[in-house]
Amino acid sequence: MSADNREIKIKRVTSRKRSRDSLKSHLTPLRKRTTASGEQCSEKTGERSHTRTMGENYSDNEDLFGDYDSILGDSSFLAKMDDAEKNMKQHDIDHKTYIDPVGHHLDNPDFTALRPTRDTCVKSGCDDSLTDSILEGLRDDPFRDVPSSQLAFQQEVLQRDEKNRCLDADKTSTPNPERSVEYRNKREEIDVAPKARKSMTDHLKRAMLCNAAAPSGVSRTTVQKEAVVTEEISVAMQAIESVYMETTDLGPFFGLPTKVKELICNLKEIKDLYDWQKACLNLDSVQQRRNLIYSLPTSGGKTLVAEILILKELLCRKKDALLILPYISLVQEKVRGLASFGLELDFMVEEYAGSKGRFPPVKTRGKRSLYIATIEKAHSLVNSLIEADRLGNIGLVVVDELHMLGDGSRGAIIEMTLAKVLYLSGSTQIIGMSATLGNVQDLQKFLKAENYTNDFRPVQLDEYVKLKDSIYEVDPKEEECFRFSRLLNFKYSSAMQKMDPDHIVALVTEVIPAHSCLVFCPTKKNCENVAGMICKYLNKQFLQHKEAEKAALLRDLKSCGNGSLCPVLRRTVPYGLAYHHSGLTSEERKLVEEAYSSGVLCLLACTSTLAAGINLPARRVILRSPYVAMEFLKRSQYKQMVGRAGRAGIDARGESILILPEKDKLMAKQLVSAPMEICYSNLMHDDGKGVLSLILSLIGLSITTTLEKIRDFMSGTLLAVQESRLCTERSLAEIIQECVTVLKDKALITESPDPQDGTLQVTRLGRATFKGSVDLIYCDVLYRDLLKGLESLMLNSFLHLLYLVTPYDMISQCKPDWMTYFRQFTMLSAAEQKMSTAVGVPESFIARKAAGQTIKKNVDMAVAGRLYLALVLFSLVKETDLWSVAERFQLSRGFVQTLLSSSSSFCSCVLHFTQELEELWAFRALLTELTRRLTYCVQAELIPLMEVAGVMQSRAKQLYSAGYKTLSHLANADPNVLVKTVENLYKKQANQIVASAKMLLNEKAEALKEEVDDLLMMPLDLPSL
């Protein structure tokens, strides 16, 4: 059937279907009468088509009698009605001339003049009788079978007739001649003709139409129609929801709404994507959600692609996403940057770094979540989701700096995390990105991923090396790798030549202050020395460049140091220079980074960690030495550093210059021409500690409970892919067997006594170890220390608790100054000194060490070193002044802050550790509060403000002084007002602070809602009869 002729026959359905064959009379319409042969006769002329096209609806006001048996369609019935009316009219004519009460013959009587006499009433009664006789003729049995409209009309006529008779019977007819004459004259003057009587046909039509149009209290047709429509709407909504869940296309911007493109333009100031980004987003592997590894040079725009894929997962597929970053600073920066997207697009952005993050995460009501986590926190998060059977909620995992798989113990943690996701959740997509990948094939096999590689750079990079006073261009195609470019044009005095033999001043003054410059140095101390040395040889014009902004930066640096300012920064910042390394506090680093990004500072002397951290590009990058500390540069480190050269949208090209001593020329040639280093699995790092931790968590989470299943899981790791290269002495199966034995010996797992069963189970200590992410080397030591601490736990100060949460791995990084140690010990109370003796460090031991005397008693130096670090933390908690504490203990303020952040993280781990061991119940409430204090280490009133990502202590003080004292104040603040009331706060920073505060407020609200839901939820195991 063609589309043009496709019609649906509509058959009307009434509440009562009658048979016409049994009830036929003179009232039956002609077109429904049947012939003797049983065939129906229908009128050909004017016959209506009863077909309707699809989608046509019926209205309650339409003609419901067109297809129904209607007396209006019966010409015989109407003819009889007309005959009856003619007879009545003839009867009226026959009685037209009559005598009025006074004896006058009236040819044209006026029925309104006087009331008729009793005799006249007899005539009127005759008329009424005639009308009744007509109606009686209609009172026929067949009327019982006609539609309700005709029955209603009959009842209406009968009731009106009865009413008229009653009214006439009650009226008097006393004649009044005077009034009669007066009234007759008035009627003659206005000459109004009597109103014509309506025909019976008109009455019937009117009654039937009114009956058809009148609304019914209970209309079966309406009910049926509403039921059908409701059902169709329900089916349509289910279909739409099904399609919505399956589709990944919500708009023109790579399947995302146009609003996302607008937000990227407004918040990131990116108007269009690079060609490689568009190509990558349109890959079949991306469209079909297959795992993907993509690698490009530094500053190529890799992160934006990952963010777009994350937004697609959150908005289109309605799944959560996990973004894994290597450093806490990067996590905080990304949380600040994406909080505004979360508010505009209605998803949560949650921070998992340091001691922040809930395990398992809060179940958000109808909202999806983006978890931004460090490597360690991401592993704990995945473990908690596996235990809660919610790993399937994670639709996408993105790993930045994927090459860190080869980075010691942290690389082992990344491998564990990804291996668990691959093994348990086939629907979760994994995206890895890096600028430096040497063995992509191994990683592809491990992740079951496809690879996309491009050498695109937004700004052309020119690589050079400097030998003596000559600059050579790097060209790996050349036989010598280096091609002469130019000589340095800078006049050096003999004194200056001694101070700056590498001509760093000549190299940096070619670009600053008009452009920016990064100088990578091998050590932290060298960073400070280089920055100070350059200042000595800069002319005074540098002091005038952005002088007001630099003065404001110095005030901020002094404020964050509680009045103290680094003497090196005091000397270098006025020239637009600063140093950047881990010796600075996080707040100082943040201020320096912001000043450099905004152009207030034009040069940073920094360590290699800046290259792997926050993105701070420069017009020229100088590598002060081909070494990092005492080790020669790796190819990946070199590429990361030189990759910072060239600022997209600002510079047309970028330059990198490696300063080489003549002795390192050969090694430098290999450096610039060698391929990237191979990324090896680190599960066997540190005597197989990674394999031990992995197997323990597999058994604890019930992922694998037998040796055979453990082997099956391990076959999907990067270690299995590289087994032939890494497991040369023993096979992977043998390593697994040995690790299981070690875990049994440590009493972390047990095996079923039935040899045929072979089921492995985790012990209470084993569960506490993997739930607390405690290093296997220290788990038994920690357990013993906590049990011993319960015997004589001192609660009148924080010292004992601080000792128990001081990280074991920080002990080797600090050698105590024994005189300082002794001075601080003597300042302790008697109870605190007694606690020191209880843990194994008596006063006599410290006094002898301070005096340089020999030690007779056998004292554990690790315990003594741990107590020394605990004293540093104790001073911090009491004073909250990092600068004064660092000076007192003769430690760098950067180390003190690292100790503080490491202790807060370890305190959180110990808290989770004690929650799994009933005998350590007393620590739970104590460590909860201690974790909070160590995380912020500020006055209590500033903690709510410092919970916001990116708000440091000095900024929190400024906000508190300006009247923003709570999280709610900050979340509802106007960024424009913030900029005016808080000194040195830029509009972009204000927007990020407000957005982060709103996101944190939403996160807390969701947690409370979940708690309410848990309280009101009906138990599934509720007893019933």
Res 547: pLDDT: 92
Whether the predicted pLDDT of 842 surpasses 70: yes
- Checking if the pLDDT of 209 tops 80, the result is no
Q: What is the C-alpha to C-alpha distance for residues 910 and 355, in angstroms, rounded to an integer?
A: 11
Give the per-residue pLDDT at 880: 74
Percent of the chain at pLDDT > 70 equals: 77
Whether 758 shows a pLDDT value over 50: the answer reads yes
Q: What is the model's pLDDT at position 463?
A: 94
Query: Comparing 1013 with 551, which gets the higher pLDDT?
Result: 551
84 vs 8, more confident: 84
* Residue with more model confidence, 131 or 834: 834
Q: Which amino acid is at 259?
A: K
Q: How far apart are CA 348 and CA 368, in angstroms?
A: 6
Residue that has been written with the tokens 């540069």 in this structure: 633
The residue with greater pLDDT, 326 or 71, is 326
pTM as predicted: 0.74
How far apart CA 596 and CA 789 sit, in angstroms, is 48
Average pLDDT over residues 562-591: 92
pLDDT above 70 (res 20): no
Preceding peptide of 513 cis, ω within 30°: yes
Ranges of H-type helices in 537-626: 541-544, 547-560, 567-572, 586-597, 609-612
Backbone φ and ψ for 614, nearest 5 degrees, come out as -65, 145
For residue 655, is pLDDT > 80?
Answer: yes
Least confident of 44-58, 265-279, 750-764: 44-58
Q: Cα–Cα–Cα angle for 877, 878, 882, nearest 5°?
A: 65
Higher pLDDT, 855 or 785: 785
Query: Which of 39-53, 366-380, 673-687, 932-946 has maximum average pLDDT?
Result: 366-380
pLDDT of residue 164: 56
Instruction: Pick the more confident residue, 813 or 476.
Output: 813
* Backbone dihedral region for residue 346 (phi beyond 0: left; psi -120 to 50: alpha; all else: beta): left
* The predicted structure's pLDDT at residue 87: 66
- Quick check: 675 pLDDT over 90? no
Q: Kindly write down the DSSP assignment for every residue of 280-317, as one continuous string.
A: HHT-HHHHTT--EEEE--TTSSHHHHHHHHHHHHHHTS
> pLDDT per residue over 478-525, tens digit each?
777 898 999 988 888 888 888 999 999 999 999 999 999 999 999 999
Q: Which long-range contacts (CB under 8 A, 24 or more apart) does 1001-1009 make?
A: 1001/967, 1001/968, 1001/971, 1002/348, 1003/348, 1003/350, 1003/362, 1004/967, 1006/348, 1006/362, 1006/364, 1006/365, 1006/367, 1007/358, 1007/362, 1009/365
Cβ-contact 903, 806 below 8 angstroms = yes
Average pLDDT of the chain is 81
Q: What is the pLDDT of residues 459-488, one digit of tens each?
A: 889 999 999 889 999 988 777 789 899 998
C-beta separation of 616 from 604 below 8 A:
yes
pLDDT at 50 over 60: no
Lowest model confidence (mean pLDDT) among 489-493, 495-499, 693-697, 1001-1005 = 489-493
**Mean pLDDT within 589-607:** 92
In this model, does residue 581 exceed pLDDT 50?
yes
Looking at residue 198, its pLDDT comes to 55
Task: Please determine, for residue 43, whether its predicted confidence score (pLDDT) is greater than 50.
Answer: no
**Above 50 in pLDDT, residue 409?**
yes
Local confidence band at 148 (pLDDT 50, 70, 90 cut-offs)? low
Quote the CA–CA distance of 640 and 653 in Å, as a whole number: 17
**Residue 140: what pLDDT?**
44
SS3 letters across 636-698: HHHHHHHCCECCCCCCCEEEEEEEECHHHHHHHHHHHHCCCCCCCCCCCHHHHHHHHHHHHHH
Least confident of 217-231, 293-307, 740-754: 217-231
Q: Is the pLDDT of residue 351 over 90?
A: yes
pLDDT of 449: 96
Q: Which has the higher per-residue pLDDT, 128 or 471? A: 471
pLDDT for 220 beyond 70: no
Within a 10 A sphere around the Cβ of 413, how many other Cβ atoms? Answer: 27
Backbone angles phi, psi at 35, to 5 degrees: -80, 175
Q: Average pLDDT of 641-657? A: 86
pLDDT value for 89 = 60
pLDDT at site 299:
79
Mean pLDDT of 339-351: 94
Return the number of other C-beta atoms located less than 10 Å from residue 262's C-beta: 12
Compare 297 and 120 and report the one with higher pLDDT.
297
- Place 324 in a pLDDT band, splitting at 50, 70 and 90: very high
pLDDT surpassing 50 at residue 46:
no
Q: Which residues contact 249 (CB under 8 A, 6 or more apart)?
A: 255, 316
- Identify the pLDDT of residue 7: 44
